[in-house]
Amino acid sequence: MDDINDLAKRVADTVLRSQQVRRDIEKTRIALRLWIPSETELVPIRRAICHPLLGGILRKDPQRDVPGPNFPLNSLRLAISKGHLVCIWKAEKQYVTPAALRDWLGLSEGERRTSRVIQYQPPATKTNYEKQKGGASVANASAKLLSMKAALAKKRGK
């Protein structure tokens, strides 16, 4: 009877371990899931160096991205500053699209000498708190200016 109880306990332990291994495998599978953005989807420039077009691997989890070996972040920034790579500014951050990366990689040396327009996307509208804060600072500056004018007029009047 003891042998059967020991066997049952070992089987139960094995089942628990296998369930834990399955959960760990599922977590790893989810973490390593690939992300392939559409041609018009905005990709942050820090993640763009990991795009498959540049030899990297983009994952759903940004911490697990693998950058390509040939294009560091500075090469993308240099291409943007020269006007070869079209960049979109949004909330003071740089974004590129896979279509822009594909165009940049397809340029010949002669085409790279002509510049392109960099698109600018204005920041989102201000919240009420930000508007009130801005209004208060303008009011403070105006009050100081008026007091300075009054002091100057008083000084001139003497």
- Model's pTM, two decimal places? 0.53
Residue with tokens 């201000």: 126
pLDDT in the model for residue 4: 86
> Are 49 and 58 contacting, i.e. CB atoms less than 8 angstroms apart?
no
Q: How far apart are CA 21 and CA 14, in angstroms?
A: 10
Task: Please name every residue paired with 88 in a beta bridge, in sequence order, or none if there are none.
Answer: 95, 119
Q: How far apart are CA 158 and CA 145, in angstroms?
A: 20
pLDDT in the model for residue 108: 57
In this prediction, residues 94-107 reach a mean pLDDT of 88
Task: Please name every residue paired with 57 in a beta bridge, in sequence order, or none if there are none.
Answer: 66
pLDDT in the model for residue 109: 56
Question: Would the pLDDT of 23 be above 80?
Answer: yes
